[in-house]
Structures are given as structure tokens and as C-alpha cells.
Chain A
């Protein structure tokens, strides 16, 4: 990353975004159907916010309302201190950058041209860029680490590279707030992690607030400064990821018949059956992986000192050894352990 000075440093805005008793939803012919109500949220500059919630709960509707892509039913949204309803299209574009889920189908435009489109409100009558515009475009391209892509055709980029470029385009608008609606939806796992890392880094480097909705819960809990969790009933739980985990809200929102949230590991587990308790002896990676095999096969892993487990397993460099009331057996790799456990559950 090149050492760059962020344009617009020292903007006088305190809260980048604030909503007051906001209700979002849809207007029918005569009625209004609110999806989320009484939303009071604030984001400060330098914060990365992840918006989480089950499918269809209204995350996109909330983001679209914050971005003024649809009108609020009630209440207000303030961006950098100004009510959203009172700012012009151009002024809005200078405060707010947006990245959407939708794939952009444009051919025969270079990455530099796409990022340059972010200067729409700044550039002249025919879209000619000044030195100041070019500096902002260059800064945005460097900020997302896309310097090596500038002359490439946008349509020939990978999905991850495209989203980076779309973020650079939004940054070129020099916004105080960046809103991203499921930007990782089409990406493979490394690209997802990279993208979230990039967003976090952006909030650290310049006075920028980022609000991003995602289904990637575990990644969000590891990366975000603040979590906004939309519960199935429509109420919002907000706070630092760890506080939200502690509140138990994540389990309530996402747990189903087959999955459980494990707060200690901040991850979900599949419920695969009840083979009984399993104690794992040994330490390090091998013991942890042995525990993973046991869990997948439907055992509840308990501490090694627990009384009367159904099975006990010891894992070390030599392989694994398992003993139960009935006897003992051993093997070299985890596939054989899994095989043995599956065979055991068939008999019972």
C-alpha cells in the first residue's frame, strides 16, 4: 500500500450516520407496510459496522433506506449531520458511497474508467477529470490495492477484483459513509476474508464509516467494530461483537433444529445426533481435530476429567486410540477414526 493522503481529512462531521425513530418498509397503494420500526442507530467515523440477520428480515430494506434508494416510511436519516431528505443527488453522492450485490455487466471499460465514474458529481460537463479528480481516483485505486489492475478491462476481472474496483469507485466519491449490501455474496472464501479485511483497514486509514450487510456471520463477528443484529421479531440488538454474543441474540436469531451457536468459538455447529459424551485426551492440533471428528459424528465433547464418558479418545503423533466400556481400538488417521465411529453408531 502506498503512503497516500486521504482527501477530505478533517471533515467537521461527528456521527457519519444517525437514524431517528426510523421505519423502513414498503408503500402499497394506500397502506404502508413497515419491515423494521423505531430504528435508532448511529455510526461514528472510523467504525466498521456489520449488519446481520436472517434472510428476508429487512436488512437490504434498511440499507436501501439509509442510502435513499427508497423513502423512509417514518422518522429520519441523517448523514454527516444533514437530513437525507434535504440533500441533493450530488450532495448525497459526496457523502455516501454504495456497493450493491448486483453484478455489473459492462464491457469495454477499463478499471480506471469505472473508478473515474465515481467522480460524477465533481467532474465537468462532459465528464472530463481535473488533476484533483485524478488524484482522488488514484488514491481510491491504491486504497483498495488495485494498482495492478488499472488498465485491465473491468469485465475480465474476477468477482473479488470487481468488488474491489466497485469499492474504489465508491471511495472516489470521497464519502463519509460507505454502505455495502452483501458485497461478499458471489465471492470465494479467501476473497471474502480479504474484502472484510480491506473494509476494516479503510475505516482505520481515513475518517470513513462503513456499514456492510453480510451472511458471513463468523467472519463478521471477527472483523466488525459494531454489530447490528436484526432479530426475527424485527427488533435490533447492537453493540460490540462480543457483547452481542454474550446477549445470546445470535443464537436466538439463527439457531435452528439442526444448528447451534457456540459462543466460545463464535461459530455454528451442526447437531448430528446424540452418541453420548466423548472425552479427548492429549493436546494441540491433533486433539482439537479428534474433537472435531467426534462432534461431526454426533458426540458431545467433554473435558478429559469428566466422569464416565461414553468414549474416550487420545490423539498424538502415532495416531489415535479409543476406548470404551467394551474395549479398545486404534488407527493412524482421522478417516479411520470417523469410520470406526460411524460403524459404532450403526450397531447401536
Chain B
């Protein structure tokens, strides 16, 4: 690692730690950092309402934000490298549209819809049902895309295929939205805003390990991703089993994207932006340093977005999606204009 790479990674690590503490301290009521640290170190001391707020509300929320940010960053990086396209993101294959369809079927049709009835019969309610619906929807679309794409040689065609699937599925969702009652639309819109608050400790027991597994898989393919930087033809000539790696990468990145969407709603922008900023900061396209960097920066950005969305005080919560985009777009533009060294800037 060069000195610059070491410095960037160290700075990112510090930033994540700082923002993590800050995210626990800030919220509807500010809690002094000292008490935050105390509550973290001695979580068993009950009776303190502030400690309760930290450990049972803010801590799972912040952990969720970090996991989601890391997952989206790494999945975005995988997709951008695989498709050699700067606009690719974790949802490039229509994953989030699939999840939306699942959620729309449940939310807009619950009570009498077949999906809602099926879920209710399993004893699933509310958030759990929405999550399950999102996972099923995403899995169906991903399965279709993977099956069709296994017959396609050109990666750009696969990307277009995913886009088309996304459009088609979104159209179905639009039809559902158009036909539904206004009071149900509120809940639907709420899901579309995105939120890290819905993931409790209990749900983290599923979300956490899944995301960690995805991140570990992605970390173990850095060598393959590096070979893909020269394009699929060269990668193959250097000994890469291109079809297999493409399949695994698409699967891994899509699962990460789908899990985040299922548990937190469709979080846009982060997955595109974080890899670009990391390339700019590091001045390198080497995935051995890029992967840890996107994990750290993704976590930090998600935490910051979480803090900002709660900032205005007085109970108003900004939609998370609005925050990530408004906050991130100028940063990305600045980084790209200044450095001109992203992997695709030429």
C-alpha cells in the first residue's frame, strides 16, 4: 500500500468511529457524548431512560445504517467494475424494482390481497411482512435476469436487460399504485423514503449476518475484480473463469442490494457515489484497497445521512433518500471535477 492509501484508510476509519458516536448522541434529544460512551460500556445499567434510548433505539439504528452503507458501497463497486460502467449501482439488474413490486402487493393490497392473506396466515405482520415481500420480489426478478443473462455474452447487453426488467416491473407497480386507495398510498410512500429506524435488535440478527456474509464474499473476489478492470476478454485470457465470476458477482451484489432494500427501503445514490469518491480519494482502481475503503466510506456516509435526516429537531424527519442524494451529489461532482482520476473518468 502506498502512503496515500494508508492515510486515506486510516482517516476513513477515524471518520466512521466519530460519526458513529455522533449518531448515537444526536437525535430528537441530544445526549452528551460522555453518557453515550458510558451507556455503550455499561449497557446493563437499567433505570436510566437515556441509556435505554441509546441501546434499544439508536444503537440498532446506527448499526443498521453502517451495515447498509457498507453493503451498498461494496455492491455498487462490484457492479461498476463488472459492467465497466460508471452509472451501474447495486440495483442495476432491476432488484429494487422487484422488491418494490413485492412491497406494493402487500402494502397496497393488504387485507384482501392474496399476498397479504398468505403472509398473515404465516403469522407475519407489518414490517416483517413487508421485508419478506421485498425479498421474494427481488429474488424473482434477480432469478429471471440471471437465467436470461446466462445466455448473453456481452455484459452491456446484460445491463440493458436488467434495466428493461426494472422498467417493466416498475410499470406494474405504477398500475397498482394507480388503482389503490389513498390511505394505503401513505404507507407505500413511507417505505419509498427509506429508513434505518425500522430494524430492531431482533431483526438485526437476520440482517447483520446476511450483510456481513455478502461483504466477506465481495472482499474475497478482489483479485477477480482487478482482472476484470482490463475487460472480460483480457480477464479470460489471464485465467479468469469469466462466466462464473460474473454470475457470482451479480448474485452477491444483488443480494446485498436486495437485503438493504428489504429492511431499509430503496436507498438510492449511495451505491453509485461511494465507489467514485473512494477512487478519487485513493487515486487507485486496485480493489484490494478500494473494497475496505468503500466499506468504511459507505458506513460513514449512511451514518451522516441518518444524522442529517433527524437534524431539524421538533419531530420532523427528512426522507433518507432525499438526504443521501442532496448531500452526496455535490460531493461526487466536486470529487470528479477535481481529481479526474476515477476508473472511468477518461
Question: Which residues of A does B touch, CB under 8 Å?
Answer: 67, 69, 89-90, 92-94, 96-98, 100, 102, 104-109, 113-114, 117-118, 120-121, 123, 125-127, 153, 155, 169-170, 173
Cβ of B23 under 8 Å from chain A:
no
Q: How far is the CA of A105 from the CA of B241 in the complex (A)?
A: 21
Binary flags per residue of B262-282, CB closer than 8 Å to A gives 1, else 0:
000000000000000001001
- Smallest beta-carbon distance B284→chain A, Å: 5
Cβ of B283 under 8 Å from chain A:
yes
Binary flags per residue of B206-243, CB closer than 8 Å to A gives 1, else 0:
00000000000000101100110111011011111100
Q: B223, B237, B241: which has the most chain A beta carbons within 10 Å?
A: B237
Q: B226, B231, B279: which has the most chain A beta carbons within 10 Å?
A: B226
Asked if B238 and A118 sit within 8 Å, CB to CB, the answer is yes
Cβ of B247 under 8 Å from chain A:
no
- Smallest beta-carbon distance A289→chain B, Å: 44
Nearest CB to that of A106 among chain B residues? B229
Which residues of chain B come closer than 8 Å to A97, judged between CB atoms?
237
Asked if B240 and A100 sit within 8 Å, CB to CB, the answer is no
- Smallest beta-carbon distance B256→chain A, Å: 20
Q: How far is the CA of A89 from the CA of B72 in the complex (A)?
A: 31
Known: A89-B239, A89-B240, A117-B226. A104 touches B234 (CB 8 A): yes
Q: What does DSSP make chain B's interface, helix, strand, loop or mixed?
A: loop
- Smallest beta-carbon distance A159→chain B, Å: 13
Which residues of chain A come closer than 8 Å to B239, judged between CB atoms?
89-90, 92-94, 120-121, 173
Which of the residues B223, B226, B237, B341 comes within 8 Å of A107, measured between beta carbons?
A: B341
Kindly list 15 other residue pairs between chains A and B, CB separation below 8 angstroms, not including A117-B226, A118-B238. A69-B233, A92-B239, A93-B239, A97-B237, A100-B234, A105-B346, A106-B343, A107-B342, A107-B343, A107-B345, A107-B346, A114-B230, A126-B223, A126-B288, A127-B223
Binary flags per residue of B335-346, CB closer than 8 Å to A gives 1, else 0:
000000111111
Which residues of chain A come closer than 8 Å to B288, judged between CB atoms?
126-127
Q: How far is the CA of A100 from the CA of B234 in the complex (A)?
A: 8
Which residues of chain A come closer than 8 Å to B341, judged between CB atoms?
107-108, 153
Which of the residues B220, B231, B241, B346 comes within 8 Å of A155, measured between beta carbons?
A: B346
Q: How far is the CA of A93 from the CA of B279 in the complex (A)?
A: 29
Asked if A106 and B285 sit within 8 Å, CB to CB, the answer is yes
Q: How far is the CA of A92 from the CA of B346 in the complex (A)?
A: 32
Which residues of chain A come closer than 8 Å to B222, judged between CB atoms?
126-127
Asked if A109 and B286 sit within 8 Å, CB to CB, the answer is yes
Q: How far is the CA of A69 from the CA of B232 in the complex (A)?
A: 11
Which residues of chain A come closer than 8 Å to B279, judged between CB atoms?
107-108
Which of the residues B227, B284, B342, B346 comes within 8 Å of A117, measured between beta carbons?
A: B227
Nearest CB to that of A122 among chain B residues? B239
| Complex A-B, nearest 6 residue pairs according to Cβ-Cβ distance, in ascending order | A93-B239, A127-B223, A121-B239, A98-B237, A120-B238, A108-B285
- Smallest beta-carbon distance B9→chain A, Å: 15
Asked if A109 and B229 sit within 8 Å, CB to CB, the answer is yes
A-B contact count (CB 8 A): 85
Q: How far is the CA of A37 from the CA of B53 in the complex (A)?
A: 77
Nearest CB to that of B343 among chain A residues? A107
Q: How far is the CA of A106 from the CA of B283 in the complex (A)?
A: 12
Which residues of chain A come closer than 8 Å to B282, judged between CB atoms?
108
- Smallest beta-carbon distance B329→chain A, Å: 22
Which residues of chain B come closer than 8 Å to A105, judged between CB atoms?
84, 344, 346
Nearest CB to that of A93 among chain B residues? B239
Asked if A120 and B227 sit within 8 Å, CB to CB, the answer is yes
Q: How far is the CA of A333 from the CA of B211 in the complex (A)?
A: 79
Which residues of chain B come closer than 8 Å to A169, judged between CB atoms?
238
Q: How far is the CA of A294 from the CA of B52 in the complex (A)?
A: 99
Asked if A120 and B346 sit within 8 Å, CB to CB, the answer is no
Nearest CB to that of A172 among chain B residues? B238
Q: How far is the CA of A92 from the CA of B279 in the complex (A)?
A: 32
Asked if B238 and A104 sit within 8 Å, CB to CB, the answer is no
Which residues of chain B come closer than 8 Å to A92, judged between CB atoms?
239
Asked if A98 and B344 sit within 8 Å, CB to CB, the answer is no
Asked if B238 and A173 sit within 8 Å, CB to CB, the answer is yes
- Smallest beta-carbon distance A86→chain B, Å: 16
Which residues of chain B come closer than 8 Å to A69, judged between CB atoms?
233, 236-237
Asked if B237 and A108 sit within 8 Å, CB to CB, the answer is no
Binary flags per residue of B79-118, CB closer than 8 Å to A gives 1, else 0:
0000010000000000000000000000000000000000
- Smallest beta-carbon distance A236→chain B, Å: 24
- Smallest beta-carbon distance B36→chain A, Å: 36
Known: A106-B343, A108-B341, A125-B223. A67 touches B229 (CB 8 A): no
Which residues of chain A come closer than 8 Å to B223, judged between CB atoms?
120, 123, 125-127
A-B contact list, 17 entries, CB within 8 Å: A67-B237, A89-B236, A93-B237, A96-B237, A98-B237, A107-B342, A108-B285, A117-B226, A117-B230, A123-B223, A125-B223, A126-B220, A126-B222, A127-B223, A127-B226, A173-B238, A173-B239
